[in-house]
Structure 1
Amino acid sequence: MTDDTFNMSMRKFLKQVGVTSQQAIETAMREKGDTAGQTFQARVVLTIDGLDLEHVVTGRIDGMDKDDTTA
Structure 2
Amino acid sequence: MDEEQFNMSVRKFLKTLGVTAQREIEKAVRDALDSGRLQGDETLKAHATVKVEGIELKIDTEGDIKLS
**TM-score, length basis structure 2:** 0.86
**Equivalence for 2:61:** 57
Higher relative contact order structure (alpha carbons within 8 Å, sequence separation ≥ 6)? 1
Structure-1 separation of matches of 2:59 and 2:14: 13
Q: Does 1:37 align with 2:36?
A: no
Query: Alpha-carbon deviation of 1:37?
Result: 1.4
What code does the residue aligned with 1:43 have?
H
Within a 5 Å distance, the mapping from 1:1-71 to structure 2 comes to 1-33=1-33, 35-63=39-67
Gaps of 5+ in 1: 65-71
Percent of residue pairs identical = 38
Displacement over 2 Å in runs of 4+: none
Gaps of 5+ in 2: none
Q: Secondary structure at the match of 1:26?
A: helix
Aligned residue-pair number:
64
| 3-state SS in 1 of match to 2:19 | helix
Q: CA RMSD in A?
A: 1.2
